[in-house]
Structures are given as C-alpha cells and as structure tokens.
C-alpha cells in the first residue's frame, strides 16, 4: 500500500504560545512492497510522522494518502476502523508489554479484544507464528521464557495476526544481540518478499538497516532532508553528518577508498560483496 504526504505540516499545541512545529511542509512517498527506513536525529519528527499514517493524528495542514484513505484536518476518515487494521505498529521493546501466560494467548489477545471469532483467531495465530518463522510448539510456551529475539518475533506475530498491509517497526533491533538482529532482518525481508507487506522501519542503527532496506527518508528538524533509494541518499555524506545523521560504516569506507585511490568500488551494502570487490581490485 503506497503512502503519500502532500504538503503536510503538524504542530503540537497549535495556535498557542507553546506551539511546536514538529513537521514542516513534508512531501514524500513511501513505496508499496518496499522496505522504507525513516532516519533522523532525536526530535526530528519521526514519531509524529508515523503517527500520522493511521489517522491517530491528523495533519495540521496538507494531506496524507494511505492507500484508498485520505487523511486531512477537519475531514472525517471514511472507514477509520479498516485503516487501523491495515497499518500494524510494532512499538519499541514491544515485549515489555507482554502479560499473558502463553504465546498463543499473547498473540490472540488483541484479536479477542476486537471481537474476532474463535475459529478465525486460531487460524490467524497459527499463520502469524508461521510468518515469523516460529513453529506451532511455541504456541503453548511461556513468552517470558523465550530469548530476546524470539520475544520480538512473538510481538511482531501479534501485529501480523491482524493481517495488516503496512507494518511500522519502531527501532526493531533495539537491545538485540547480533544473531537475533540477523534473524530479524531475514524476517523483515520475508515479510516483504513472501507476504507482500509494505515495511516502514524507524531506526538509528544505520549499519544494520543499510543491509536490507530499499529506500530511506531522512528527517531533520521537521523537514525531509533526503528521500530515495538507500545508495543515493547515503551518498550525501557531508550534509548528513552536518545534520547529525550517522552514515553507515560501509559507505564511509567506500568513500574514503574512493578519495585515496580515485576508484569507486560500487554500490555495495554488505561485507561479503565488499570483500569480493576488494580481492578483485587489489
Ligand atoms: P523523534 O521521533 O524524531 O524523536 P518527535 O516526532 O517525537 O521526534 O518530535 C518532534 C518535535 O515535536 C520535537 O521538537 C518534540 O519535542 C515535539 N513534540 C513531540 N511530542 C510532543 C507533544 N506531545 N507536545 C509538544 N511537543 C511535542
């Protein structure tokens, strides 16, 4: 599902002396069936931007198009409930909110709350576990006794159970070890490639996201600094650094090598391909 922001501004406490202009005239496109990263320093407007996608916040100015939905100030959202289920949010450290005794209960809790029928719930729990790569034996396990990576997968499964078209993940790799991060990256790619989801990842972890995202949106001080495919966005090393945005180490390496040798080894996002290029060029 494509999402478009057209001249969108959002102000907190609008019209009061304490007004904060969190987003200023944003124009951007979040492509369907792609992994889109949202990157920017703290306070740049990332949380505000993702909260405008499911209609919980409405723009102060401008329009957000989410698939068939048009979100605009002072306009009633047609099919507001449909929209809520089409966008799945995985918040930061979601497993901190676990409170059920089994994985199954944890995943089905939200669906029960929204009155889904038992048959449908059982099927969706099974499907959601499969989608995150956990077999059915996990259903009866205690969620508190799982590893950090498994917990994160269960939290993602509880969002997938609603069958959303778009999945927003806020700092998904936060607090995970390297192996769990790699496993999560694989899962996010599968959600795009096998299940055709549109993914939005909010992250500071530029080294990890560079390996698997397609597009990047950089926010700075409530404005879009850059948007586009990851290679073209992260080529703007000086401007990004000046605006407090970290550049992936692999991009820095390729840039430094180019400065020293005059040779650009290519748009490379992983160490294996980088090693091959270096061996061929030495
Ligand atoms: P980020 O997620 O990139 O850290 P936010 O979207 O949370 O950025 O914040 C953008 C700006 O809006 C910041 O200046 C922040 O202080 C301000 N802001 C966020 N939430 C509120 C709020 N509830 N009331 C007033 N200002 C807010």
Burial bucket for residue 95 (CB in 10 Å: 0-12, 13-18, 19+): middle
pLDDT class of 132 with cuts at 50, 70, 90: very high
Residue 208 in this model has a pLDDT that exceeds 90: yes
DSSP state of 112: H
Q: Where are the beta strands (DSSP E) in 73-204?
A: 87-90, 166-170, 198-202
Residue 74 in this model has a pLDDT that exceeds 90: no
Say how far residue 272 (Cα) sits from the centre of its chain. 25
* Residue-level pLDDT at 126: 95
pTM of the predicted model, to two decimals? 0.94
pLDDT class of 270 with cuts at 50, 70, 90: very high
User: Do residues 53 and 2 make contact, with C-beta atoms less than 8 angstroms apart?
Assistant: no
State the CB neighbour count (10 A cutoff) for residue 56. Answer: 14
Burial bucket for residue 51 (CB in 10 Å: 0-12, 13-18, 19+): middle
Non-local CB neighbours of 120 within 8 Å, separated by 6+ positions: 111
- Domains of the chain by residue range: 3-97+165-246, 248-282
Ligand 1 shell residues, CB under 6 Å:
12-13, 20, 22, 40, 42-48
Non-local CB neighbours of 224 within 8 Å, separated by 6+ positions: 26, 27, 28, 217, 218
Distance 241 CA to ligand 1 centre (A): 22
Distance 64 CA to ligand 1 centre (A): 19
- Rg value, the chain, Cα: 20
82-110 mean pLDDT? 92
Residue 178 token pair: 């390297």
Angle between helices 103-113 and 148-160 in degrees, nearest 10? 30
φ and ψ at 226, to 5 degrees? -150, 150
Give DSSP secondary structure letters for 30-92: E-TTSEEEEE--TTSSHHHHHHTTTTSS--SEEEEEETTEEEETTSPPTTHHHHHHHEEEE-S
Residue 76 token pair: 């009633």
Which protein residue's CA is at the shortest distance from atom 1 of ligand 1? 43
Which protein residue's CA is at the shortest distance from atom 17 of ligand 1? 22
User: Do residues 152 and 180 make contact, with C-beta atoms less than 8 angstroms apart?
Assistant: yes
Write the pLDDT tens digit of every residue in 40-57: 999 999 999 999 998 889
Three-state DSSP state, 97? helix
Rounded CA-CA distance 225/88 in Å is 26
Distance 87 CA to ligand 1 centre (A): 21
Rounded CA-CA distance 279/131 in Å is 38
Instruction: Given CATH 3.40.50.300, say whether it is the number of domain 3-97+165-246.
Output: yes
Rounded CA-CA distance 267/126 in Å is 39
| Ligand 1 atom at shortest distance from the alpha carbon of 202 | 2
Pocket test for ligand 1, best of 12, 40, 244 (most atoms within 8 A of CB): 12
Distance 45 CA to ligand 1 centre (A): 6
* Residue-level pLDDT at 54: 87
pLDDT class of 77 with cuts at 50, 70, 90: confident
């Amino acid at each position: 599902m494509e999402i478009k922001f057209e001249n969108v501004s959002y102000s907190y406490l609008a019209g009061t002396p304490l007004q904060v202009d969190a987003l200023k005239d944003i124009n951007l496109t979040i492509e369907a069936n792609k992994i889109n990263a949202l990157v920017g320093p703290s306070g740049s407007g990332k949380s505000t931007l993702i909260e405008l996608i499911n209609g919980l916040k409405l723009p102060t100015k401008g329009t957000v198009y989410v698939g068939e939905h048009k979100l605009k100030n002072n306009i009633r959202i047609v099919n507001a409930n449909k929209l809520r289920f089409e966008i799945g949010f995985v918040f930061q450290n979601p497993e901190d909110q676990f409170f059920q005794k089994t994985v199954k209960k944890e995943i089905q809790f939200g669906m029960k709350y929204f009155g889904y029928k038992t048959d449908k719930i059982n099927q969706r729990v099974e499907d959601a576990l499969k989608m995150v790569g956990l077999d059915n034996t996990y259903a009866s396990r205690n969620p508190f006794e799982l590893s950090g990576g498994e917990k994160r997968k269960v939290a993602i499964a509880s969002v997938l159970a609603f069958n959303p078209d778009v999945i927003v993940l806020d700092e998904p790799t936060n607090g995970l070890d390297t192996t769990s991060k790699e496993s999560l990256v694989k899962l996010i790619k599968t959600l795009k490639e096998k299940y055709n989801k549109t993914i939005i990842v909010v992250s500071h972890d530029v080294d990890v996201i560079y390996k698997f995202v397609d597009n990047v949106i950089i926010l700075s001080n409530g404005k879009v600094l850059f948007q586009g495919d990851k290679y073209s966005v992260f080529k703007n090393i000086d401007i990004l650094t000046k605006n407090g945005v970290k550049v992936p180490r692999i991009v820095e390496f390729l840039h430094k090598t180019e400065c020293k040798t005059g040779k650009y080894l290519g748009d490379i996002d992983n160490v294996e391909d980088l090693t091959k290029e270096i061996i061929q060029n030495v």
